[in-house]
Amino acid sequence: MADYIIAIDQGTTSSRAIIFDKKGSIVATGQKEHEQILPKAGWVEHDPIEIWRNVQEVIGLALSRADLTRHDIAAVGITNQRETAVVWDRTTGKPVYNAIVWQDTRTQDIVDRLAADGGGDRFKQVVGLPLATYFSGTKITWILENVEGAREKAEAGDLAFGTTDSWVLWNLTGGTDGGVHVTDVTNASRTMFMDLETLEWRDDILEAFGVPRSMMPEIRSSSEVYGAAESSSLLRETPIAGILGDQQAATFGQAAFQKGESKNTYGTGCFLIFNTGEDIVHSKNGLLTTVGYKLGDGPTHYALEGSIAVTGSLIQWLRDQLGIIQTAPEVEELARQVEDNGGVYIVPAFSGLFAPYWRPDARGAIVGLTRYANRNHIARAALEAVAYQTRDVLDAVNADAGVDLTELKVDGGMVANDALMQFQADVLGVPVVRPVVAETTALGAAYAAGLAVGFWNGLDDLSANWQEDKRWEPTMEEGERDRLLRQWRKAVTKSMDWVDDDVA
């Protein structure tokens, strides 16, 4: 009897495999970080081979820690860092270039070229997204234009594109020996190429980007059997039955299935998703329109999304680049040693500013420095930046929705930080709520897979699994909140208009 589901979470900083039971509780986890390859300013790459090796390793770790085998696993779900583009040769199984990561800004020239004819929003009505380096589309174009021989191979039909869900699925199902080349609707909605209404690739947009349609994976729902793991895998013959991009997976794992429900995930970046049900809503306030989920032949659920590029990665930057902390949790100890931010604000526009500003010309700024400022203030300003950016996005969601959210469900690695969560409630002025299982990303993928194979019977089963762990109530006075927000917004203006011809 198979009593468990395994989820593979192929994230930006690490790959995880997590085994869940029927209650949605974690039974065992395997996790491994991969290298962040930073060849020059603005470039971020991953090695797809390393990622695939790590995925196999963490599956083994999770199974052995739980003392289980494939016979105990009913299905496999996959969730992934979105937009990160892998292009590989389907005849050899080898990537033609490293994966170009979602944070990478090298394709700004391609964005500008495309925007010159029809503006930055020329495809927005169809795909829900503005032209930006963030999405997969221009990353594929860059590979085809810059990797020797890639264009010819692509025209010959030898190259395949995928976000890392597709890369993992193709390898897990046999690779060059019958690998399944598929993605799900949520990942497809982050490429710039999928029509939100028909859920099909648009030939006219592919053509504008110079991307042959033969490279593209088949678009399927988020919950159905795509194939089975191949014979040499530890999961041999186990059905792979769910795929959701990480942020949509977290929304699903939070059981935010219905119109009007939302969540904010605090990981490498922060991503607030607001479910708009079966309606495609176009934002007037800098949010993206995206697919939330689609279960088998069921209706498509859409969402508005506020994407913030840099939150947890700002803490990693304090650790790895500045060296003022050794581990991420230490940032809280540092920040607690001071009463306030000492007038210091950090605007972490490392990849420009994403939602709700969408300003590629912005770059990171630390402002308000005086001789008084110390590393405690910097630590505090870093945590505050996470909360302020979320406030900006929440304001956009409230404006688009026409009604204000009354509380915010949160998850992701940073929600372990109590000081941050209290400050978040304070600057939002609404309660912040954390569920027992904060690994909602993996849980959502497990749910999608389990639903497809009848492990769970329906959404009610899943809602019943959601349990509150902790709630932070706002305690800050309104006048103080407003004062801080005014200063934050002033700081944001200082990060803008930085990139020009003098800045490579």
Ligand X SMILES: Nc1ncnc2c1ncn2[C@@H]1O[C@H](COP(=O)(O)OP(=O)(O)OP(=O)(O)O)[C@@H](O)[C@H]1O
**Can you give the binding site for Mg ion, defined by CB under 5 A?**
11, 246, 267, 441
329 binds, among Mg ion, ligand X, none (CB under 5 to 8 A by kind): ligand X
CA–CA separation, 354 vs 97, rounded Å?
26
Helix (H) or strand (E) holding 491: helix 478-495
End-to-end CA distance of the chain: 58
Q: Is 56 annotated as a binding residue?
A: no
312 binds ligand X (CB under 6 A): yes
| Distances 216 to 157, 180, 189, 298 between C-alpha atoms, Å | 10, 12, 13, 23
Least distance from ligand X to the Cβ atom of residue 317, Å:
9
Nearer to ligand X, 232 or 327 (CB): 327
| Alpha helices (H) along 41-177 | 48-66, 108-116, 124-127, 136-146, 150-155, 164-172
The answer to whether 442 and 9 are in contact (CB under 8 A) is yes
Nearer to Mg ion, 250 or 401 (CB): 250
Report the residue from 416, 459, 476, 485 that binds ligand X according to the rule CB under 6 A. 416
Q: How many CA atoms lie within 13 A of 182 on its CB side?
A: 23
Report the residue from 62, 315, 344, 484 that binds ligand X according to the rule CB under 6 A. 315
At residue 403, what are phi and psi to the nearest 5 degrees? -130, 150
Interface region with ligand X, contact rule CB under 6 A, candidates 216-224, 308-316, 342-350, 429-437: 308-316
Reference 443, options 51, 25, 4; nearest CA is: 25
The answer to whether 247 and 82 are in contact (CB under 8 A) is yes
Least distance from ligand X to the Cβ atom of residue 466, Å:
18
176 to 195, contacts with ligand X by CB under 6 A?
A: none
Least distance from ligand X to the Cβ atom of residue 331, Å:
5
189 to 248, contacts with ligand X by CB under 6 A?
A: 246
412 binds ligand X (CB under 6 A): yes
CA–CA separation, 351 vs 307, rounded Å?
12
CA–CA separation, 448 vs 226, rounded Å?
12
Interface region with ligand X, contact rule CB under 6 A, candidates 22-30, 105-113, 227-235, 324-332: 324-332
Helix (H) or strand (E) holding 451: helix 440-452
Annotated binding-site positions for sn-glycerol 3-phosphate: 12, 82-83, 134, 246
Annotated binding-site positions for ATP: 12-14, 268, 312, 316, 413
Annotated binding-site positions: 12-14, 16, 82-83, 134, 246-247, 268, 312, 316, 413, 417
Annotated binding-site positions for ADP: 12, 16, 268, 312, 413, 417
Residues that bind ligand X (CB under 6 A): 11-14, 81, 246, 267-268, 312-313, 315-316, 328-329, 331-332, 412-414, 416-417
